[in-house]
Structure formats: structure tokens, C-alpha cells
Amino acid sequence: MKLPPIVKGFSKLSRSEKIQWLADQNKEAEDLARVLNSHLHPDPLLQGMYEEFSENTISNYFLPYGLAPNFLVNGHLYTVPMVIEESSVVAAAASAARFWAMNGGFHVKVVDRLKVGQVHFRWTGDGASLYNLFERNRENLLKSVSFLTERMEKRGGGIRELRLLDKTDRIPSFFQLFVNFHTADAMGANFINSVLEELAKAWKDLVTRETRSAGIKGELTIIMSILSNYTPESLVECYVEAPVKALDRLDDNLNGSAFAEKFALAVNIAQKDAYRAVTHNKGILNGMDAVVIATGNDFRAVEACAHAYASHEGSYTSLSAASVRKGMFRFTLKVPFAVGTVGGLTELHPLAKISLGILGNPGASLLMEIIAAAGLANNFSAVRSLITKGIQQGHMKMHLSNILQRLGATEPEKDEVKRYFGDKTVSHSAVENYLNILRNQSR
Ligand code: MEV
């Protein structure tokens, strides 16, 4: 197979030159430039700003921005902004939020918000000498980064703990500086990484100097300095609870007690079966991610942390748990993740700012609470659908709308097709056939 030539200096091309280059590679994509250009922001200043968020930008990629009202979290009512491409997620969040607002709401607690950073290095000398040197110089090391931590300390954050860890049982000569941070209302990735890189330099200098003067044998090589997205100590716990009687009207065929038992069993299956657990947790993250994205936070970091935590006991399990005891149904979620309400995109992206405004400009802790509530809400709605009518009914309604849109159906055609498919299985070809029949009849 003949490969196209390797492109050089692509980033230096203007936006329209990049599009032209792309069109040259994709002869069949005639409409490329028109579609890409039609998704640009009409305000060139705003377009310029969006382009600067990333690199090699040629257009904007729109996602729906929706609202889920009626989120009662610790006694306060919130309208929650959600950005997500998947149909039914916002509706599911809104439906669970409304139900639980009438039943005590979401009870949420941020257990802690500690973040982790690591300097990974090799030390070829003796571990005990290194520990000794570290203990004697811990304060000096902290002082060496105070020019970076000073401002964060004024905001209530900073380094909480600095430890030296011996990892030689895993890899020969492998050690770590393991640092716990509090980053106030910031997610803190840049802050943590800057501190770690500075700390690594200071540590390397210190060890080189001190070992030389004390005649200690050994060489230290810094491998890398980076935050960890696994933050089990940036943890939030959330629950809803109600007498089973309150669940009476959630399904036509199950009374509250039967619904609660079936629900708890479904969650238990997710606790015991990894295949089910991944999908179950994906349902939680549907809600969490949508708020994370709407508020300009890093959903990949949230996902990575949540999934890692789901296996912290040795096998992958559900992040939520459900129980029925003495007539009370309780549904809980425990999930660690890191988000911020200052810094990064939260202050740059106009819609992230709007989202935070809609939520009353929360601090990071409150935002974590709301995100956890959205996760539990979506989990509740998903499991509710699964154990009752199934999820396809709702999905198929959206699917049908999408098919009709793609086939260019008129409003009266849409109404008739939706009526016709009310009790039938939806597929693209079935809808197309029926639409053709309608169109032939009206000729
Ligand atoms: C779909 O995006 C999410 C669900 O699959 C979650 C679940 O199965 O619990 C419905």
C-alpha cells in the first residue's frame, strides 16, 4: 500500500490551508470546507479563543447543552447543566432528581480532597542512607518549592505531606517522592506538576551534593515527575433514602417493596459481576461526566480515577450500593475524583462560566457534591428502567426522531410515523419503508 507523504509544518498552516490540505487528502469529502466553516463561531474573537484551547483547530464540535432541574442536594435546590451527546441521559437525571427532591433529596459529603503527585527516580545506592538524607532535608525540600506553593497556601491549599517511598521490591533501584496536595478550589494539575518538577530538581541537586560531601556511593536519576489521576482521598459519598412505600409508583407492575428488592438485587449483580459493573458504572459516569464537561473540567481524569477506584479492593465492582432494611430503601455512591471551579477552562470557556453561574458559583467541594448527585441520579434512572420497562423504549423514541430527521420527514409525516411505531419495533429500514408508503399515498 502506498502511504500518502508525511506532512511537515502542518501546525504552521492557516485554518483554511489546513482544510484545503484535508480536502486534498479526502477527494470524496466535497462538502468538507462548507460544513467545517458553518460550525465556526460568528464572533471572530470567540472563535479565536476556542481555537486557542487546543492545536491544529479547523472548526468547533458542538455537543448539546441541557439542564436537569430539581436537584435537591443537602437541602439546596440546583438546576444542573449537562453537556452530553447521548440521548436520555439528561431526561434520566431530571426524572430521578424530581423523584428524589420529593423524597428528601441527595445527602452528600466530601470526605476529603487530597491530590497526589509523584517524582519517580532511580537510586543506585543504599536505601537507608537515602532515607536518612531525606529526613534531614525534608524541610529544605519544602522550602525549595515555597515560591510556587506560597499563593496556594494563602488560598488554603499547599503540600500536606511529603514522603520517600522505597519501591525496589517492584523494580530494582526504583524510589518515589510521594506528595499529597490540597489545591483549594482548583483542580490543580498545573500547580502540582510545576511543584513536582521543581521538587525533582531540588532533590537531585541535594542528593548529588550531600552524597558527594559525605562520601556516600550511589547515583540518582530522575525518571519523571507527574500528578496521579488516582485520588482515592479526594472522595465524595452520596446517598438517597426513602421508605419502600415511597417507591410504589415507580412502576405499574411492582409495588415499592418489590421494586426496592429487585433494584437492590440488580445493584448487587453489578457488585459481583465485572461485566455488569463496568456498564453500571458507565451509567453513573453518564451523569457525572455531563456536569464535569459542562463546568469545563477534565472528564478523562474523572473517568480514570473512578474506574481505578472501582477495583481498589482487588476486583472491579460497582461504585454504588443499594440496600433494603426495615422497610427503608437506601442507595449510595462512593466515588473519588478531582475537579475545580477556578483556573483552567473553568474560567476561560464562556459556557463553563455560565454553568458555574447556574450552579451559584460553587467551590470545588460543592461542585463535587453536585456531580456525585448527578451520578447517583443517572444510576438510579438507568437501573430503574432496566428492572422495569427496559431501556430500549426510551432510546428508541430518540432513535426514531433521529431517523426521521435524517430522512427529511415533514412535521405531519413525523407525527404519523411516531403514531404508527408506537407499538412496533423501530429500525431504519422499517421507518424508511413506512415513510415511502406515506409519501406514495399522498402523491
Ligand atoms: C447507557 O448509556 C447506560 C446504561 O447502560 C447504564 C446501565 O446499564 O446501568 C443504561
At 56-90, the pLDDT tens digits run 999 999 999 999 999 999 999 999 999 999 989 99
pLDDT averaged over every residue in the chain: 95
| Judgement on whether residues 171 and 296 belong to the same structural domain of the protein | no
| Judgement on whether residues 247 and 343 belong to the same structural domain of the protein | yes
| Judgement on whether residues 33 and 136 belong to the same structural domain of the protein | no
Closest residue (by CA) to atom 6 of ligand 1?
A: 283
- Cα of 75 vs centre of ligand 1, distance in Å, is 28
Identify the sign of the CA torsion 144, 147, 151, 152. Answer: negative
Complete DSSP assignment for 333-387: EEEE----SBSGGGGTSHHHHHHHHHTTS--HHHHHHHHHHHHHHHHHHHHHHHH
Q: What percent of the chain has pLDDT over 70?
A: 100
In a domain, 275, yes or no: yes
| Judgement on whether residues 197 and 147 belong to the same structural domain of the protein | yes
Residue 276: name the closest of 235, 322, 319, 232 by CA. Answer: 319
* pLDDT > 80? residue 39: yes
In a domain, 56, yes or no: no
| Judgement on whether residues 309 and 180 belong to the same structural domain of the protein | no
Range of the domain at 36: 10-51
| Judgement on whether residues 362 and 380 belong to the same structural domain of the protein | yes
Closest residue (by CA) to atom 10 of ligand 1?
A: 382
Domain boundary among 167, 198, 228: 228
286 lines ligand 1 (CB under 6 A): yes
CA–CA distance, 353 with 359 (Å, rounded to integer): 10
Number of domains in the chain: 4
In a domain, 110, yes or no: no
392 lines ligand 1 (CB under 6 A): no
Q: Where does 5-157 show beta strands of DSSP type E?
A: 65-73, 76-83, 107-123
Confidence of residue 28 (pLDDT cuts 50, 70, 90): low
| Judgement on whether residues 378 and 400 belong to the same structural domain of the protein | no
Q: Does the active-site annotation cover 298? A: yes
| Judgement on whether residues 295 and 404 belong to the same structural domain of the protein | no
- Cα of 388 vs centre of ligand 1, distance in Å, is 14
Other Cβ atoms closer than 10 A to 279: 12
Closest residue (by CA) to atom 1 of ligand 1?
A: 283
Confidence of residue 427 (pLDDT cuts 50, 70, 90): confident
Tell me the best of 279, 318, 384, 389 to mutate to test the pocket of ligand 1, counting ligand atoms within 8 Å of each CB and taking the most: 279
* pLDDT > 80? residue 26: no
86 lines ligand 1 (CB under 6 A): yes
In this structure, what C-alpha cell is assigned to residue 334?
462512593
Q: What is the pLDDT of residue 4?
A: 76
Q: Does the active-site annotation cover 282? A: yes
* pLDDT > 70? residue 348: yes
In a domain, 87, yes or no: yes
pTM above 0.85, yes or no: yes
| Judgement on whether residues 240 and 384 belong to the same structural domain of the protein | yes
Complete DSSP assignment for 5-19: PPP-SGGGS-HHHHH
* pLDDT > 80? residue 104: yes
- Cα of 50 vs centre of ligand 1, distance in Å, is 32
Q: What is the pLDDT of residue 24?
A: 87
CA–CA distance, 401 with 184 (Å, rounded to integer): 45
| Judgement on whether residues 223 and 248 belong to the same structural domain of the protein | no
CA–CA distance, 297 with 203 (Å, rounded to integer): 32
Q: Which of 282, 399, 414, 418 is catalytic?
A: 282
Q: What is the pLDDT of residue 2?
A: 77
18 lines ligand 1 (CB under 6 A): no
Mean pLDDT across the stretch 357-379? 98
In a domain, 4, yes or no: no
Residue 113: name the closest of 341, 315, 304 by CA. Answer: 341
In a domain, 269, yes or no: yes
Each residue of 395-426: pLDDT tens digit? 777 788 889 999 999 999 999 999 998 878 88
Closest residue (by CA) to atom 4 of ligand 1?
A: 283
- Cα of 381 vs centre of ligand 1, distance in Å, is 9
Q: Which of 41, 51, 86, 353 is catalytic?
A: 86
Q: Does the active-site annotation cover 413? A: no
**Contacts for 319 with CB less than 8 Å, ≥ 6 apart:** 280, 281, 284, 306, 309, 310, 333, 334, 335, 375
| Judgement on whether residues 257 and 382 belong to the same structural domain of the protein | yes
Each residue of 144-167: pLDDT tens digit? 999 999 999 999 999 999 999 999
CB 108 within 8 A of CB 237: yes
In a domain, 5, yes or no: no
Q: What is the pLDDT of residue 196?
A: 98
* pLDDT > 90? residue 274: yes
280 lines ligand 1 (CB under 6 A): yes
| Judgement on whether residues 335 and 415 belong to the same structural domain of the protein | no
In a domain, 3, yes or no: no
The residues with which 109 forms a beta bridge, in sequence order, are 237
CATH at residue 381: 3.90.770.10
Other Cβ atoms closer than 10 A to 161: 10
In this structure, what C-alpha cell is assigned to residue 38?
458553518
Q: What is the pLDDT of residue 399?
A: 81
Closest residue (by CA) to atom 3 of ligand 1?
A: 283
